[in-house]
Structure 1
Amino acid sequence: MATSAEIVAIGQAVAACARAAKSLNAITDQTLSRNTVESFDWAAADADEANAALSAAGVSYSSAEVSNAIGSLAAFQTYWGTHGGNFEKLTDPIV
């Protein structure tokens, strides 16, 4: 059986995860909005330009990998839309 201290520690750890998830959601919204405004197609028409720019910047990922991550972030937004309220109950407001 968990002690009172263990119960509190686990609850606080879950709340910390909830705050991190809320921050990820905010950054995801900003990032995907910026990508939409730029109308940049990472996976197709603009891939050569993106790969050249990424290579020149010395990063180790490709436009296809960025495109895949964008898809995963969009899936996270969908997840947040359904389950975000569960996390919000454990977080402080972002001001």
Structure 2
Amino acid sequence: MSSNKSYSLFLNSIRYNTENQSVVYSAIVDGKEIALSGRVSGVAGIRSVVMSDELEKFLRPFCANDPGIVKRLVNATWRAVDGESLEYPIQI
């Protein structure tokens, strides 16, 4: 991540695979497109996102400045999984 202290994060896409419940997030960071993964989980009516180690590590600096970023990521993920039409890029 660049050192300009900009902590905005925009997702260019959220791709959901129904077969294995995996999610791939696409974002532009320092002018390069990156892809990070997770998996959706819904147990007893509680919906969550299980983040890959890479996604968790990537989000850590953002969380230090804005703890709500994970909640917004989970919300955007489930909106995509539920088939809602999202307008990208999405700021989380």
TM-score by length of 1: 0.30
Greater strand percent: which structure?
2
TM-score by length of 2: 0.31
Larger RCO (alpha carbons 8 Å, 6+ apart): 1
Greater helix percent: which structure?
1
Structure exhibiting the larger radius of gyration computed from Cα positions: 1
